[in-house]
Chains A and B, each alone.
Chain A
């Protein structure tokens, strides 16, 4: 006989889990009681949202399933933002929540919420456990769906009495879906697409490649790079695709979309054949959907059929795992004669499409980020929170590390970066993890400084402090007649003192000091020391409050209607 709580942990171990993030509470206490000796390391965050973001960070850095644990009621509701984030960004995540005892379910008992109901639309799959005997199968199925096809979050809600009850336990089980065809991400590559795609390429004059997260998630980065080298057509990446294409490739034009490069957005506007590799084509990438790639036929490599035709119909959907479909295409493409696209490539990446000269109010901040990034080791990871600093960081990121840039791209959840950095640092203890936040977002999960301190994680934290909710302020400036309604954070706390209260070393670097030529050697040494430290460190970079992110495609405009700083 074995208790339900022990069975849960046995099954987690069988799924390869050795690390979980969570926060205890009444309805999950039996699980915590059984933790010791289970072989699973538990990391106590200081808020359930911190736990789920940390689990996401771990999953994003490793490709493994992240695990977050919380109690019923508020514990579960605090997970919801992270679950939604994982759904948007295809992060494999298993969340386990305690629930009030089964006899109380539906009575509005203390700390009861309908976790199953409220997470239906945010998860790939979810279950309310109704008997302790179900636990092995439910956990096996949960991990299957979290990992399979387009990865995503699942949640298992377990009444506290099911965890306490003892039942016969024959060991963890394996889950095999009953119907292999259909369903999420279970489609295979179509046999005819290669011929059709080559025909399209042979007719094309201005083909381009748009690379998203799918290339990384499927483990197809090397296949993709090989294919792009062969095609040698202009290529660009979404924010989640950054690092998939080698930054020094002669055909790489940088990031595309609302704050993408001029070259990438112009090429996308002019192309007659758009090859999409694992990208959802969300509105931050497309601009006004009706004017997206107006001259192009679209070939969409995608594992999730749901993502097809969201913007407009694609001429050739290639449904399947990119690790299968890209090599299938490459093998044939190398055998046939393809047109020489060098003239188009030269035009798309030509000097007249280069970024405007480095100037403007944001220049010092971008220069600061660049100086940090060039000091990062090849296997380092940059995390960006959400806001202006996120886009500046994305614009400055040029490394060729597929999992080297992590951010909350789809949901855009402020407060993501610090707890996610904890997860990344635990997953990659021997590398540099640089967490870039804004002053607004940092305060959304600032309590996780305690987790950083307790674990002694050498996370390098940077706050880009403009004393505003900068991205909202930018939109207020540009589209709401400078009515800075409720975006002023000029009464921010002293971040250095706060960090010190958590026993974390912290300092400030002001923009004027950074720009002072007389201080450049000193600043350089400071940045070196900051990144090389074996301890957690916080560096607050005070920047101009009215610096904006440019280029910018205004909402409702096409990608060719970028706005640049005057």
Chain B
């Protein structure tokens, strides 16, 4: 599993373009969380992709107008658990911890 943190300006379609780069490659996204961070937005994505796909994705994301930064991150246990047990995606941009409480309630 790979985790990516992508900072972007929340203009029309930017998040959709980020997600579209993943979906067009047939890669599942077991965890997605988008949230405002300072003056921009951040989306965190968890996915299982091979090394070539990771390279392609990073380049494609960086090529999206209004993407500010792309960083890979180490999968954190909480996100991994969400993915591993097939819990539903957050209904909206709630925090991972909050969603975990909802999902296990």
| CB atoms of B55 and A116 under 8 A apart | no
- Point out the residues of chain A lying under 8 angstroms from B45, CB to CB: none
B-contact 0/1 string along A96-126, CB 8 Å cutoff: 0000000000000000000011001100111
- Point out the residues of chain B lying under 8 angstroms from A179, CB to CB: 68
The reply to whether the CB of B24 lies closer than 8 angstroms to some CB of chain A is: yes
| CB atoms of A121 and B65 under 8 A apart | no
| CB atoms of B63 and A125 under 8 A apart | no
A552 vs B62: C-alpha distance in the bound complex, in angstroms?
36
| CB atoms of A120 and B16 under 8 A apart | yes
Measured as residues with beta carbon below 8 angstroms from the partner, the interface class of chain B is 20 to 34
Contact of A306 among B63, B66, B68 (CB under 8 A): B63
| CB atoms of A305 and B68 under 8 A apart | no
| CB atoms of B68 and A128 under 8 A apart | no
A419 CB to closest chain B CB (Å) equals 28
The reply to whether the CB of A127 lies closer than 8 angstroms to some CB of chain B is: yes
A440 vs B83: C-alpha distance in the bound complex, in angstroms?
49
Interface of B is mostly: mixed
- Point out the residues of chain B lying under 8 angstroms from A184, CB to CB: 63-65
A309 vs B59: C-alpha distance in the bound complex, in angstroms?
10
Interface on B for A, CB 8 Å cutoff? 9, 12-13, 16-17, 20, 24, 52, 55-56, 59-60, 62-69
| CB atoms of B56 and A121 under 8 A apart | no
8 smallest CB-CB distances across A and B, nearest first, come from A306-B59, A184-B63, A306-B63, A125-B65, A121-B20, A305-B59, A120-B16, A120-B13
Number of A-B contacts (CB under 8 A): 48
A133 CB to closest chain B CB (Å) equals 16
| CB atoms of B20 and A183 under 8 A apart | no
A145 vs B56: C-alpha distance in the bound complex, in angstroms?
21
B92 CB to closest chain A CB (Å) equals 18
A308 vs B59: C-alpha distance in the bound complex, in angstroms?
9
Assuming the A-B contacts A183-B65, A184-B63, are A128 and B12 also in contact, with contact meaning beta carbons closer than 8 angstroms in the complex? yes
B-contact 0/1 string along A177-197, CB 8 Å cutoff: 011001110000000000000
- Point out the residues of chain B lying under 8 angstroms from A178, CB to CB: 9
The reply to whether the CB of A465 lies closer than 8 angstroms to some CB of chain B is: no
- Point out the residues of chain B lying under 8 angstroms from A116, CB to CB: 12-13
| CB atoms of B68 and A182 under 8 A apart | yes
Considering the complex, which residues of chain A in the window 280-306 have a beta carbon less than 8 Å from any beta carbon of chain B? 304-306
- Point out the residues of chain B lying under 8 angstroms from A310, CB to CB: 56
A120 vs B14: C-alpha distance in the bound complex, in angstroms?
9
Contact of A124 among B24, B56, B65 (CB under 8 A): B65
- Point out the residues of chain A lying under 8 angstroms from B66, CB to CB: 183
| CB atoms of A309 and B65 under 8 A apart | no
A555 vs B56: C-alpha distance in the bound complex, in angstroms?
23
| CB atoms of A183 and B67 under 8 A apart | yes
Residue of chain B at shortest CB distance from A181: B68
